[in-house]
Amino acid sequence: MINSSSEIGLVYGLFAHEAAQLIKFDQIGITRRSVDGELTPEYAEGMTVPGWRLGLQSVYAGSIEERIEATRQPQRWRADSLEELFAQFPAETPAFEAGIRSMLGVPLIYAADVIGFLTVASLKADLFQDDTARLLGLIAGQISGTLTSSPPPKRVKSGTGVWWTFQLTPSSFTRNG
């Protein structure tokens, strides 16, 4: 079962490494969404943002993840001022304060459910364009495909909510080259 932080980190790390070959970013992260709607950062690589820690539930209302889930489409923001960002995504102000000026996120979808989010962030404004959104969407599809090519997920109740749990098998992964 892929439900410990170290196992999840290894799996997501493979995808993050491949993404870094294709997309420029200062941070990449995967946030899992529980069946109850809780957000928990599960993987992050790159710069740190105060208040964002793996395993610590994060704010959903006013986040890029909230907009992604509502639209089921890639979403991005860029901001030159805190006020500008706060008007769109108030939950993202810690990212701006840490120096991030643009962010792009896409949904991870299993069946009809949004089970998580893949995001990249940059210190540069306007770094992420439509072609980057399409590419990140393809990577998210690979992540979702890896999870869904495993035995069917189970809903597991824990002290922090109800989560999808996936069992990965060696056949879940393919690598070209």
Nearest to 19 by CA among 51, 44, 48, 49: 44
Residue at 23: amino acid letter: I
Tell me which of 133 and 163 has the higher pLDDT: 133
Per-residue pLDDT tens for 42-52? 888 999 888 77
pLDDT of 96 reads 94
Cα of first residue to Cα of last residue in the chain, in angstroms, is: 27
Domain boundaries, the chain: 5-169
**Position 164 pLDDT exceeds 70:** no
pLDDT at 148 (0 to 100)? 57
**Global model pTM greater than 0.95:** no
5-169, CATH topology level: Beta-Lactamase (3.30.450)
